[in-house]
């Protein structure tokens, strides 16, 4: 099943929603139109009625995303203010990716530059093709990093490397990104999407409620004290311990068989 949105499409692969940027003529540069399309695709994937339990985000053609689409004329009513554009079009997307009620995998093919890099790093697990590269391209056009990159990069790779990437604007190849701890795995180009779907399918077969709660805990942890995080873990564990999936996990463990989680 394929569902088309504005410059984005979604394919159902079992319980996995494979969401694809679809404006390859500009290496999937992100415009307001594409931002709305992606927001709609994420909402469709997140709707429980559609039965998805994991999501993958990737790009059509030779790149994941080259960043913001600077060549597209402003939409009617928009003022030329880059900060307002972020607030109107891109921040809602970042919140939607953070708040997905399912594991989220990004499969980075080719370029992930500017805010495209920010979106790539929103994955719980970030996969890349060998030809992929990551670039904080903002300084090259006289802008500051955005898309949450000044928050997430120091937490992933440390302040020194985050500053280096952002101030110099140099390309970071996939293998170097893996060595730095920026991403999780690198695959041959032809294998990337299949490997991403295989991994997402494995996550979709897991205990959906517990995995979603795990996402919430890790998103909260950078800004929480140790005591606050222990309290959140206690609350989430209390909820998880009352689920059918927990009971199934215990029974399967005792019977030495694979669990059959149902997301309940």
pLDDT in tens, 52-110: 999 999 999 999 999 999 888 877 777 778 888 899 999 999 999 999 999 999 999 99
Q: What is the pLDDT of residue 264?
A: 87
Q: What is the pLDDT of residue 100?
A: 97
> CB neighbours (10 Å) of residue 201?
16
pLDDT in tens, 203-255: 999 999 999 999 999 999 999 999 999 999 999 999 999 999 999 999 999 99
Rounded Cα gap, residues 98 and 102, in angstroms: 10
Q: Report residue 253 CA to chain centroid gap.
A: 32
**Residues 64, 114: contact at Cβ < 8 Å?**
no
pLDDT in tens, 150-178: 999 999 999 999 999 999 999 999 999 99
Q: What is the pLDDT of residue 49?
A: 97
Name residue, tokens 């873990």. Answer: 233
**Residues 36, 74: contact at Cβ < 8 Å?**
no
Band of pLDDT at residue 1, cut at 50, 70 and 90: confident
Q: What is the pLDDT of residue 230?
A: 98
Sheet holding 111-113, edge to edge: 63-65, 111-113, 133-135, 171-173
Name every residue whose Cβ is closer than 8 Å to that of residue 53 and which is 6 or more positions away in sequence.
15, 16, 102, 103, 203, 204, 205, 208, 263
Rounded Cα gap, residues 146 and 83, in angstroms: 9
Q: What is the pLDDT of residue 233?
A: 97
When pLDDT is averaged across residues 104-119 and rounded to a whole number, the result is: 98
| pTM summary value | 0.96
- Per-residue buried b or exposed e for 17-43, using 16+ beta carbons within 10 Å of the residue's own CB: bbbbbbbeebbbbbbbbbbbbbbbbbe
Q: What is the pLDDT of residue 248?
A: 92
Rounded Cα gap, residues 196 and 79, in angstroms: 39
Q: What is the pLDDT of residue 172?
A: 98
Band of pLDDT at residue 6, cut at 50, 70 and 90: very high
| Mean pLDDT score of the chain | 96
């Amino acid at each position: 099943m394929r569902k088309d949105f504005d410059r984005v499409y979604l394919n159902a692969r079992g319980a996995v929603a494979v969401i694809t940027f679809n404006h390859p003529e500009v290496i999937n540069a992100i415009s307001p139109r594409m931002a709305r399309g992606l927001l709609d695709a994420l909402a469709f994937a997140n709707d429980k009625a559609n039965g998805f339990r994991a999501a993958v985000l990737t790009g059509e053609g030779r790149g994941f995303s080259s960043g913001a689409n600077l060549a597209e004329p402003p939409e009617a009513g928009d003022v030329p203010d880059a900060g307002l554009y972020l607030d109107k079009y891109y921040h809602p997307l970042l919140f939607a990716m953070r708040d997905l009620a399912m594991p989220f995998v990004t499969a980075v093919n080719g370029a992930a530059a500017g805010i495209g890099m920010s979106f790539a790093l929103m994955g719980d697990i970030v996969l890349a093709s060998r030809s992929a590269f990551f670039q904080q391209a903002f300084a090259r056009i006289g802008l500051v990093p955005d898309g949450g990159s000044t928050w997430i990069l120091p937490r992933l790779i440390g302040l020194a490397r985050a500053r280096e990437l952002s101030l110099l604007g140099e390309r970071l190849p996939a293998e170097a990104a893996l060595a730095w701890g920026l991403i999780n795995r690198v695959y041959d180009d032809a294998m990337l999407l299949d490997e991403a779907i295989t991994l997402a399918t494995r996550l979709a077969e897991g205990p959906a409620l517990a995995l979603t709660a795990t996402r919430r805990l890790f998103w909260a942890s950078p800004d929480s004290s140790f005591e606050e995080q222990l309290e959140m873990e206690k609350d989430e564990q209390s909820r998880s311990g009352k689920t059918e999936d927990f009971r199934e996990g215990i029974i399967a463990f005792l019977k030495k068989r694979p669990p059959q989680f149902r997301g309940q």
